[in-house]
Structure 1
Amino acid sequence: MTSHFSRLIVVVSCFVLSYSVAVAQKKIRIACVGNSITYGSGIENREQNSYPSQLQNLLGSSYDVLNFGVSGRTVLRQPGNSYMATPAYKEALESSPDLVFIKLGTNDSRLPYRLQIDSFATDYKTLIRSFKVLPTNPRIVLLLPVASFLTDTTRQTDQAIIKLIMPRIRQIAFEEKCELIDLHSLFVDHPELFPDKLHPNSSGATIIAKRLYETINAQEENGFDFFPKIKAAYTVSSFYGYDCADFSFEGRACKVVKPRRPAKDLPWIWRARFWGHEPQTDIALLDRGFHVVYCDVAELFGNAQAVTIWNHFYAFAQQAGLAKKVALEGLSRGGVYAYNWAAENPEKVACVYVDAPVLDLKSWPGGKGQGKGSPSDWEIFKKDFGLTTDEQAMAFKGNPMDKVADIVKGHYPLLHVVGDADDLVLLSENTAPFEQKVRESGGDIQVIHKPGIGHHPHSLPNPTPIVEFILKATTKRQ
């Protein structure tokens, strides 16, 4: 009896050990679906240097990254060069993937394929759904095409990609609830990475691989959904492929855009003004799991009423579960809103990013320095703060410029992006003296200058420096 029992223990132990080893050795399979850029065309030693191969090296032996790229292929099933007609497509389906990256659309932007662009969404959805029904229930991530530097308008020009392809992929992501990664903005200022003006070299492939690696390794807050926390009636629309809820809060128009996979600790960025203008930073943060919010307090110029409404909205965001510290974003006059709230709520701020910011209302809209100002907005400003004369307005001390001591006490980092040729919100009357005061007070400020650029365009075509600043600040302070 004892002998049989001992043999049984040995058998069970071996089974458990074998099962444990098998589980431990199960690799996560990643299918990289795409065209020649995925395949690695034009890259020396593409077997080692294509972005799927570089991603494999980054991830290590716990992953199998499979390259199913086929040169010249389209999403479109007609006229006859479809990715879905290739053996690689069938192999991708049969690979039992746990994760699928789809990077297609570049070739659909060229002639003659763009003549059939109305079929693009239907065909792309067919492709997506063919992976969705697999027994592995794979995670599906859509990659926006990289930039193109071709000038031949019959080919895959950047304008065609921007106008014909990217909006359609974003809408498809919204309707199919797929994740997105904006690769396009990562390359718009790097033509040197495209030897033939269309295909990135191995260094460009490295950028793609690192961005995908970042997505795979991102920590998430599972099961969180902001929208059920909204007590008012709301409507949902697409914000560049993400779900955006529009609702009213204390009589003010508000928006919350939620990511597909919320990042751990639920970081968020709060835009102060001009919703949707130059949205590349907001989009990049959504790709990384941030929520993006907006509470319209125009046109109150950051007065006590605006700060109070924002205090209440912040409390609402806290009740919903977002991180205690928020990244503030202010474009132009939005700088006044962001800084005036931050000065009164230092413990709630992770960082402040402002772009061509108004920091002294005497400069704009007052026009009391070298700029032309805005007489109509100057009158609104005076009314907002209960000022009846220009003399009272000139003695006003409620500007961010006047609150540097309070801002610096918050110990949150500041980033300004400014055009050196701005003749509306003059650098010399706003960011330059503000920066000097912050530095003299021991504050942490970084200024990115855009030589020869005026008040517009805001932001950066490639928002990476802004995004990295915000990621560093929120990671450190969550």
Structure 2
Amino acid sequence: MKRSLPYLLLVVPYLLLPAVVQGQSKVRIACVGNSITFGHGLPNRTQNSYPGQLQKLLGDRYEVMNFGVSSKTVIRSVDNAYTTTSAYREALASKPDLVFIKLGTNDSRLPYRLKIDEFIPDYRQLIQSFKSLPTHPRIVLLLPVASFLTDTTRQTEQAISSLIIPRIRQVAFEEKCALIDLHALTIDHPDYFPDKLHPDSLGASVIARRLHEAVTSEEVKGFDFFAAIPQPASISSFYGYDCADFTLAGRACKVVKPRFAANGLPWIWRARFWGHEPQTDIALLDRGFHLVYCDVAELFGNAQAVAAWNTFYRFATKAGLAPKVALEGLSRGGVYSYNWAAENPEKVACIYADAPVLDLKSWPGGKGKGKGSPADWVIFKNDYGLISEEQALAFAGNPMDKVAEIVKGGYPMLHVVGDADDVVPVDENTAPFEQKVKALGGQIQVIHKPGIGHHPHSLPNPAPIVDFILKATKP
């Protein structure tokens, strides 16, 4: 599909090699951080810390420098401030082209957390000190890894999640820095943390591989989706990224842009429940995806909803996004995503459906095992012009009824379901849908969550979902 781009686009590595311009022999990467960066507790920390492992992964074209210091904080007015260390001064003097900053874990402990109001201005000041260097390095903020400590005076998971991570995201929004979420990558792996705080060599390897992915990923220079957005539009923070709210053809829309646009300009389209369990959305933003939303609630994927999405799709692709989109349908969003996909198979890269409604008689109808939603059943009938209960029960416009059209698209599908879901029962929705898809030669995989109901959606660590989408959208 031919796209009209109002931009001069250039695909380059994530880190465009400034060393060539500066006459340096290598790209210089400064890893600023605390004991986790330093490699506390690791045998042969020079090689086994995540900076050491990153150096091995990147090879001789890069020089990865470890400026981690144990126990240090972002907050400056305490006895362990990172900015008082010789490592900080050495990092500034190192002529870096890229700076990874992994600080904040220690700011979550007592007594430092009592000064948490100083965290944002002090972090911004730290970033500015690197931005002002003659090399003008790219700054990437790393969210802290998970903690499995239980002593509430220390760096607990609750303190890191509630006090530190939201503030780092706010700093990223204000300073327009890239983010990498190491927290979600480690939240389900206590086995990586023998002392419940510091990663072992395997945990450090997970971090190093994620940073290697970031350094070597290709980006599109000169692309700004926001330039195409109709005015007026308001800009706010979506977990540290710029989110534009605007109206298109009478529909409320949102677009979140990444700090860098990945090669191929991939995007993910959230069908419903904006911002709910956003792990996958955030992980893809970290990797250069755009995230979009076009409000068609509550139209239950009817012709009006499909038409509105067609309008948004034309707008998004004319602005430059990829001709095939990854669709994300949570709960009733599954109806929206699949009904649109059934009519637009050539425009779909993949579908990730989470506890999806695939038969409206199951939900909101409640005509099977589930309790249903009588109020939403009335809305559904009105949306489709169904006057009687008999007409509603004979309705054949569900994704379950469109499997043949869906399979013809040839795109892969991933479902994540809770096996104890009593709102959208699996055996009335995903199970028969999966059976029909496979019978027709379609591509579908299902991740089952034993003992889990309709909530929570997604996975604490969305890596399996993210990997599925990355593979399906790879240029």
- Whether TM-score is above 0.5 comes out as yes
1:368 is matched with which residue? 367
The Cα shift of 1:25 comes to 6.4
Partner amino acid, structure 2, of 1:332: S
Distance 1:236 1:288 in 2: 21
2:87 is matched with which residue? 88
The Cα shift of 1:21 comes to 10
2:330 is matched with which residue? 331
1:231 is matched with which residue? 230
Deviations 1:247-291 (A, max 9, x none): 011211100000000001100000000000000100000000000
1:297 is matched with which residue? 296
Alignment of 1:385-464 (within 5 A): 385-464=384-463
Alignment of 1:27-426 (within 5 A): 27-426=26-425
Q: Cα–Cα, structure 1 residues 345 and 22, in superposed 2: closer, same or farther, change >3 Å?
A: closer
Q: Cα–Cα, structure 1 residues 22 and 230, in superposed 2: closer, same or farther, change >3 Å?
A: closer
The Cα shift of 1:23 comes to 7.7
Deviations 1:34-60 (A, max 9, x none): 000000001111111000000000000
Given that 1:145 and 1:184 are in contact with CA atoms closer than 8 Å, whether structure 2 keeps it comes out as yes
Distance 2:22 2:392 in 1: 71
Deviations 1:85-111 (A, max 9, x none): 000000000000000000000000000
Distance 2:364 2:395 in 1: 13
Given that 1:366 and 1:373 are in contact with CA atoms closer than 8 Å, whether structure 2 keeps it comes out as yes
| Count of residue correspondences | 457
Deviations 1:364-418 (A, max 9, x none): 0000011110000000000000001110011000000000000000000000000
Distance 1:71 1:79 in 2: 14
Partner amino acid, structure 2, of 1:257: V
Distance 1:47 1:219 in 2: 28
Partner amino acid, structure 2, of 1:384: D
Given that 1:25 and 1:62 are in contact with CA atoms closer than 8 Å, whether structure 2 keeps it comes out as no
Given that 2:30 and 2:98 are in contact with CA atoms closer than 8 Å, whether structure 1 keeps it comes out as yes
Distance 2:329 2:383 in 1: 19
Distance 2:446 2:412 in 1: 11
Distance 2:123 2:301 in 1: 45
Secondary structure of the residue that 2:232 maps to in structure 1?
coil
Secondary structure of the residue that 2:36 maps to in structure 1?
helix
Secondary structure of the residue that 1:246 maps to in structure 2?
strand
Partner amino acid, structure 2, of 1:45: N
CA RMSD of aligned residues (A): 1.2
Structure 1: stretches of 5+ with no match in the other structure: 1-19
Higher relative contact order (CA 8 A, sep 6+): 2
Secondary structure of the residue that 1:213 maps to in structure 2?
helix
Distance 1:258 1:378 in 2: 36
Partner amino acid, structure 1, of 2:226: F
Q: Cα–Cα, structure 1 residues 265 and 22, in superposed 2: closer, same or farther, change >3 Å?
A: closer
Given that 1:75 and 1:83 are in contact with CA atoms closer than 8 Å, whether structure 2 keeps it comes out as yes
Distance 1:255 1:80 in 2: 44
1:12 is matched with which residue? none
Deviations 1:155-201 (A, max 9, x none): 00001000000000000000000000000000000000100000000
Distance 1:63 1:379 in 2: 62
Secondary structure of the residue that 1:220 maps to in structure 2?
strand
Partner amino acid, structure 2, of 1:222: K
Distance 1:384 1:134 in 2: 59
Partner amino acid, structure 1, of 2:430: T
Secondary structure of the residue that 1:352 maps to in structure 2?
strand
Distance 1:278 1:299 in 2: 20
Distance 1:433 1:93 in 2: 59
Runs of 4+ in 1 over 3 A off after TM superposition: 20-25
Distance 2:431 2:123 in 1: 49
1:9 is matched with which residue? none
Distance 2:241 2:248 in 1: 21
Partner amino acid, structure 2, of 1:405: A
Distance 1:370 1:185 in 2: 34
2:16 is matched with which residue? none
Partner amino acid, structure 2, of 1:337: Y
Partner amino acid, structure 1, of 2:336: Y
Partner amino acid, structure 2, of 1:322: L
The Cα shift of 1:242 comes to 0.2
Distance 1:82 1:302 in 2: 54
Task: Report the TM-score, using the length of structure 2 for normalisation.
Answer: 0.95
The range that moved more, 230-239 or 24-33, is 24-33
Partner amino acid, structure 1, of 2:436: K
Structure with higher Rg: it is 1
Secondary structure of the residue that 2:336 maps to in structure 1?
helix
Secondary structure of the residue that 2:262 maps to in structure 1?
coil
The Cα shift of 1:232 comes to 2.9
Distance 1:448 1:214 in 2: 25
Distance 1:469 1:21 in 2: 35
The Cα shift of 1:24 comes to 8.0
The Cα shift of 1:149 comes to 0.2
Structure 2: stretches of 5+ with no match in the other structure: 1-18
Task: Report the TM-score, using the length of structure 1 for normalisation.
Answer: 0.95
